[in-house]
Amino acid sequence: MKKKTSDFENPYKEKCPIVYAMSIIGAKWKIPILWHLAHYEILHYNELKRHLNGITNTVLTRCLRELEDDNIVIRKSDNLVPPSVTYELTEIGQKLIPALNDLYNWGEHHRDGTV
């Protein structure tokens, strides 16, 4: 009997490193968030939001929580009034910087459509 598409087991779902990496950083705003944290090292929530033109508070908060859950960023709160919250890359997050630099350089070189 022929297998249905829904029965197909994808061998890369759990095993492929690129699929794993993209599951963590592949959302539209996560790479720009990481890029700015890599560049500025520590940013307050509102500073980060100003750097990310067009992102909503809801999306920024969700992406930061997911990156925090994946141990890519650290959230620090001073427990002051008004609240002061900063974000920075963890050691694991900092290991993404060379890949982000390579991605930036590739985009810089190819963005005008030339090879």
pTM above 0.85, yes or no: no
- pLDDT, tens only, 4-19: 556 666 655 666 888 8
The ranges assigned to domains in the chain are 10-110
> In the β-sheet with 85-89, what is the strand arrangement from edge to edge?
42-44, 85-89, 73-77
- pLDDT, tens only, 23-66: 899 889 999 999 999 999 999 999 999 999 999 999 999 999 99
**Which stretches does DSSP call E strand in 1-115?**
42-44, 73-77, 85-89
- pLDDT, tens only, 67-111: 999 999 999 998 888 888 999 999 999 999 999 999 999 999 888
Cβ atoms 27, 63 nearer than 8 A: yes
Task: Give, rounded to a whole angstrom, the gap between the first and last alpha carbons of the chain.
Answer: 47
Q: CATH top-level class for 10-110?
A: mainly alpha
> Is 60 exceeded by the pLDDT of residue 3?
no
Q: Which two tokens stand for residue 53?
A: 């033109």
Q: Which two tokens stand for residue 40?
A: 């500025």
